[in-house]
Amino acid sequence: MSFRVLVLAVSLLMSMTTYSKELYPLASQKQEAQFHALLHELRCLVCQNQDLSDSNAGLAKDLRNEVYQLVKIGKSDTEIMDYLTMRYGDFILFKPPVKSITLLLWFGPILFLGVGLVILVVSFRKGSRTNDD
Amino acid sequence: MKYLSWRMIPIFVFVVLLLLFWRGLSLDPHHLPSTRVGKMMPEFQLPLLNDHKHSLTPKDFQGHMSLLTVWASWCDACAREQPFLLKLQQKGVLIYGINYKDTPTDAKKWLAEWGNPYQLIAEDVDGHVAIDLGVYGAPETFLVNKKGMILYRHVGILNEQVWQTKFLALMKEG
């Protein structure tokens, strides 16, 4: 009995991955790949840790449709991302663009690591110098 | 003296971080600033709730300051802000409504129950115009100036405090 339930559950799960292909038919493999790749790069603004392909939120469904329509008419990744960031800002992208305003976001951690190392080295040297006296 | 100030740096950093974290406690991590503020309303044409022969377009916003509220009958928070919107309407504030991803029947029933402060109500059944406005939840209220430019976008329930602190100053500037 439980084995049958398992088989049913696994086959349902497997069918869910093809679910979106039937709902969003596209002319070529290339477009399908573009569509699915984009969905993974875009954030659901309601459930903000999920991407557009995973989220069940109403807005996610609407945005999936928008992306689908844009892919269908042949828009490029940049054009589609610009379309969405124009309406929702950079936050809708999981990877924020490297602009002057996000430089600290991207390079901050390395910067702090560098400063920390410098302080470590300097205090180490200072400590060893006083020990010699 | 120089030796002393070198040691002050971690304490200084700590105090700064403390202040930032304290400030952070009152921030909402889910809140999105609107990219539409400071820009003209996007072009749109939506049928009116009570009259499908006529539409709401950005032209309706020309010549006067107004509010545009995105609401729905399925939205609990919308019901909670309705008394305040009715109060604003009685004070003479022009409010336009976009009925978001809803049905006309439900919308009309909801208005009969909660009141109707709107000059005009447009139906955005598939939510496409809301996406153009950068809407990510209901209710949202936009402050639109005489030329049809969006001056501010508030996400969530509009109340006296938000009105006083965010909207009034902008309304006076015209």
The closest of A121, A37, A131, A116 to A77, measured between CA atoms, is A37
The whole-number pLDDT of residue A21 equals 61
Confidence of residue A18 (pLDDT cuts 50, 70, 90): very low
A89 and B137 within 8 Å at the Cβ level: the answer is: no
Nearest residue, CB atoms, A87 vs list B33, B35, B137: B35
ipTM above 0.95, yes or no: no
A62 and B137 within 8 Å at the Cβ level: the answer is: no
Q: Tell whether omega for the bond before B42 is within 30 degrees of 0, i.e. cis.
A: no
- Which residue from B minimizes the CA distance to A59? B136
Give the distance from residue A45's alpha carbon to the nearest chain B alpha carbon, in angstroms: 7
The whole-number pLDDT of residue B102 equals 96
How many residues would you count in chain A?
133
The residues, any chain, with a CB within 8 Å of residue A94's CB and separated by 6 or more, are A40, A41, A42, A43, A51
Instruction: Please name the residue that has the structure tokens 């820009």.
Output: B39
Give the distance from residue A7's alpha carbon to the nearest chain B alpha carbon, in angstroms: 37
Would you say residue A124 has pLDDT above 50? yes
The whole-number pLDDT of residue B2 equals 58
Q: Is B36 strand, coil or helix?
A: coil
Nearest residue, CB atoms, B136 vs list A85, A86, A88: A88
What tens digit of pLDDT does each residue of B45-76 get?
A: 999 998 999 999 999 999 999 999 999 999 99
Identify residues of A whose CB sits under 8 angstroms from chain B CBs. 45-46, 48, 58-59, 62-63, 66, 85-89, 91
Give the distance from residue A51's alpha carbon to the nearest chain B alpha carbon, in angstroms: 15
* DSSP3 helix / strand / coil % (chain B, rounded to 5): 45, 20, 35
Of B4-13, B41-50, B83-92, B115-124, the poorest mean pLDDT is in: B4-13
B33 and A89 within 8 Å at the Cβ level: the answer is: yes
Identify residues of B whose CB sits under 8 angstroms from chain A CBs. 29-30, 32-36, 101, 126-128, 131-134, 136-137
- A-B interface: how many C-beta pairs under 8 angstroms? 36
Distance CA A115, CA A109 (A): 10
The whole-chain average pLDDT of chain B stands at 93
Question: CB atoms < 10 A from the CB of A15, how many?
Answer: 10
Measured between beta carbons, the chain B residues lying within 8 angstroms of A89 are 32-35, 134
Edge-to-edge strand order for the sheet containing B51-56? Answer: B51-56, B46-48, B121-124, B95-100, B66-71, B140-144, B150-155
Distance CA B1, CA B5 (A): 7
Nearest residue, CB atoms, A46 vs list B33, B34, B137: B137
B89 or A9: which leads in pLDDT: B89
- Which residue from A minimizes the CA distance to B132? A87
Measured between beta carbons, the chain A residues lying within 8 angstroms of B35 are 85-89
Query: In this structure, are strands B140-144 and B66-71 parallel, antiparallel, or unpaired?
Result: antiparallel
The closest of B64, B60, B76, B84 to B137, measured between CA atoms, is B76
Measured between beta carbons, the chain B residues lying within 8 angstroms of A85 are 35
Distance CA A59, CA A46 (A): 7
Q: Classify each residue of B56-73 as buried b or exposed e, where b means 16 or more C-beta atoms within 10 Å of its C-beta.
A: bebebbeeebbbbbbbbb
